[in-house]
Amino acid sequence: MEKQQIVVKDLGIMDYQQAWDYQEQLLKENVQLKSQAVDQWPKPTTNYLLFCEHPPVYTIGKSGHMENLLLDEAQLASRGIGFVPTNRGGDITFHGPGQVVGYPIIDLENFFTDIGKYLRSLEEVIIRTLADYGVKGDRSKGETGVWLDPHDKGAARKICAMGVRCSRWVTMHGFALNVNTPMDYFSNIIPCGIVDKKVASLNQEVGHEVPVEEVKAKLSKYFAEVFDCYIL
């Protein structure tokens, strides 16, 4: 199979809805290209890896439960935190300062048509990135995302949440890696609907603030490795 190219774009600090609209636009463009080239191989689509940081916002997936949000509308407003129901998978999570959010808009038909493998591949990108900081990322059986000490009930904590959507094998949404993220925001939700595990941030694990741009560079590097593609 022809080696694919990934266009990396850093969107900076961007409102969640604005980033979502942009993803929808890129997905729609790719789906339209595919519909015009049904018999063409590889598909003439453009792959993207978008990085951004959102102002404080809680988002919930299609299968999420509102009882996992522990604040009402007035409390959210008083704290300056947004709330957005989304069309991704997964339950409730937080996006905000010090967090690297990655949105891959890629055509899996030019890679592999397996959503489970796609999620495991995203997890692998995060695991390799964390390893560069001496932090051992791991998987928790039946729970998407990247964890620290997942097999120790008292110590298990999630450092990267994931939720994706796929249309005609074109992906959107993605991962949220806590780098220098204030943990107090997570006390207002039951993260991902999981009551018996905590949340972690990379800076707390290594004992100092971590350069966000450095993390993005590592994520891009390992994305290219794991997905066997070129980064532009």
Residue 193 has pLDDT above 70, yes or no: no
Confidence band for 192, pLDDT divided at 50, 70 and 90 = low
Range with the poorest average pLDDT among 71-80, 126-135, 174-183: 71-80
Q: What is the mean pLDDT of the chain?
A: 91
Residue 72 and residue 188: Cα distance in Å, rounded? 10
Residue 180 confidence (pLDDT): 97
Residue 61 confidence (pLDDT): 83
Q: Which of 147, 135, 146, 130 is nearest to 214 (CA)?
A: 130
Residue 159 and residue 7: Cα distance in Å, rounded? 26
The reply to whether 192 belongs to the active site is: yes
Residue 91 has pLDDT above 90, yes or no: no
> Which two tokens mark 107?
């055509």
> Which two tokens mark 85?
């129901």
**Residues 52, 160, 166, 192: which is the catalytic one?**
192
> Which two tokens mark 119?
């999620």
Give the mean model confidence (pLDDT) for residues 166-188: 92
Residue 54 has pLDDT above 90, yes or no: yes
Question: What residues contact residue 227 under an 8 Å CB cut-off, 6+ apart?
Answer: 4, 6, 106, 111, 121
Residue 227 and residue 143: Cα distance in Å, rounded? 22
1-25 confidence digits (pLDDT tens): 678 999 999 999 999 999 999 999 9
Residue 56 confidence (pLDDT): 93
Percentage of residues in the chain having pLDDT higher than 90: 66
Residue 39 and residue 35: Cα distance in Å, rounded? 9
Give the mean model confidence (pLDDT) for residues 143-155: 90
Domains of the chain, each with CATH number or no CATH: 5-231 (3.30.930.10)
Residue 223 and residue 157: Cα distance in Å, rounded? 23
